[in-house]
């Protein structure tokens, strides 16, 4: 049954650039003006967060766009408080659009007496009044099971596959997809299947968190254009070390495709000095000025995919259709012509 209300977008401060881009893309798809709901999300002097929504949202289908990236706690609280404001203003349905789901790396108890913070965050979102979640490349797929509400997890693999075919079209025979660890093989294999490329693995062994004791390449990368695929790049230490190991094993070029460019601490400097020719990330996290200025970091937009996913959610049509290449090509309007 078609929706009777229009989808309405509201954003916190975590990634206003992406939120505005999604609104513009929706305006193109709908052939009518789409803008963010007028609201203020501010902090008092003691850093308490205050939200005031200036427009009527009673009975509306609301989409709150807010990645819970750095500062994770502030951005998470903004999302919760915006949701509470909308729920108390009688919004009909609230979808949390979380391009980057913070705390996703704390999805299990790896040691005794440690939390499962991803589950706690899920409980907080549901208790605040979120009706459904729309996110991108969850670090662990089982996080979807932490929620008792619908969770739509979009994937960057189809977009990355299109981007690889576009930028490496004259050397596809030499392209090899690399998983930077054994745990990321499924993610890397998905892209390898889409572009019909072979797969290799960099096996890393840690002595303790933040330190890599040893790296070995499983597979022959000699003469190959290696493309490392992963979901998160934080300090870029592992990524840059993996690139060095691949070159030492005979790779002619090394590139990387990472969904969420956390890029904290010395990450940008490491990438700029790395043997990697390019690091491709999405805009799920607001890029810093340093990231934008880095010559070998390129940003792939996610607004077209999120805009279509929001419209599909509002219309009650398939979101999983966005996993298919034939669906994404027209959405990206010739950016990746085939």
Residues identified as active-site: 204
Cα–Cα dist 1/131, whole Å: 19
Q: Which of 60, 65, 63, 64 minimizes the C-alpha distance to 91?
A: 60
Cα–Cα dist 272/28, whole Å: 36
Q: Which helix (H) or strand (E) holds 175?
A: strand 175-179
Token pair listed for 238: 């592992």
Terminal-to-terminal C-alpha distance of the chain:
35
Whether 260 has a binding-site annotation, put simply, is no
Whether 25 has a binding-site annotation, put simply, is no
DSSP one-letter string for 20-34: HHHHHHHHHHHTS--
Whether 253 has a binding-site annotation, put simply, is no
Cα–Cα dist 286/297, whole Å: 14
Whether 68 has a binding-site annotation, put simply, is no
DSSP 8-state code for residue 287: P
Cα–Cα dist 4/167, whole Å: 42
Q: Which of 188, 168, 194 minimizes the C-alpha distance to 324?
A: 194
Query: What is the CA angle 280-282-285, rounded to 5?
Result: 125
Whether 259 has a binding-site annotation, put simply, is no
Helix axes 157-167, 185-195, angle to 10 degrees: 50
Strand partners, 49: 43
Whether 206 has a binding-site annotation, put simply, is yes
Cα–Cα dist 123/146, whole Å: 8
Cα–Cα dist 269/244, whole Å: 15
Strand partners, 39: 53
Whether 38 has a binding-site annotation, put simply, is no
Helix axes 72-88, 117-128, angle to 10 degrees: 20
Whether 235 has a binding-site annotation, put simply, is yes
Cα within 13 Å of Cα(111), Cβ side: 4
Q: Give the annotated binding-site residues.
A: 46-48, 105-106, 139, 181, 206, 230, 234-238
Q: Give the annotated binding-site residues for ATP.
A: 46-48, 105-106
Q: Give the annotated binding-site residues for D-ribose 5-phosphate.
A: 206, 230, 234-238
Q: Give the annotated binding-site residues for Mg(2+).
A: 139, 181
């Amino acid at each position: 049954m078609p929706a009777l209300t229009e989808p309405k977008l509201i954003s916190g401060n975590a990634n206003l650039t992406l939120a505005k881009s999604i609104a513009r893309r929706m305006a193109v798809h709908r052939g009518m003006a789409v803008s963010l709901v007028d609201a203020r999300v501010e902090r008092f002097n003691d850093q308490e967060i205050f939200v005031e929504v200036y427009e009527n949202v009673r009975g509306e289908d609301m989409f709150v766009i807010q990645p819970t990236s750095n500062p994770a706690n502030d951005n998470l609280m903004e999302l919760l408080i915006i949701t509470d404001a909308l729920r108390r203003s009688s919004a009909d349905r609230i979808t949390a659009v979380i391009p980057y789901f913070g705390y996703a790396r704390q999805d299990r108890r790896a040691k005794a007496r440690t939390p499962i913070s991803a589950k706690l965050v899920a409980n907080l979102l549901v208790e605040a009044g979120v009706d459904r979640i729309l996110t991108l490349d969850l670090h662990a797929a089982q996080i979807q099971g932490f929620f008792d509400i619908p969770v739509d997890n979009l994937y960057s693999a189809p977009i990355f596959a299109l981007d690889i075919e576009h930028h490496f079209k004259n050397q596809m025979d030499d392209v090899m997809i690399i998983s930077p660890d054994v745990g990321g093989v499924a993610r890397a294999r998905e892209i390898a299947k889409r572009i019909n490329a072979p797969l290799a693995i960099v096996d890393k062994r840690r002595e303790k968190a933040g330190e890599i004791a040893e790296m070995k390449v499983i597979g022959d990368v000699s003469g190959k254009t290696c493309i490392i695929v992963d979901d998160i790049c934080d300090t870029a230490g592992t990524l840059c070390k993996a690139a060095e190991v691949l070159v030492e094993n005979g790779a002619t070029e090394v590139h990387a495709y990472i969904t969420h460019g956390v890029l904290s601490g010395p990450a940008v400097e490491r990438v700029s000095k790395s043997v990697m020719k390019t690091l491709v990330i999405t805009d799920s996290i607001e890029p810093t000025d340093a990231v934008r200025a880095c010559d070998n970091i390129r940003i792939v937009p996610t607004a077209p995919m999120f805009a279509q996913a929001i419209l599909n959610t509002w219309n009650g049509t398939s979101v999983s259709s966005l996993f298919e290449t034939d669906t994404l090509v027209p959405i990206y309007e010739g950016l990746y012509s085939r």
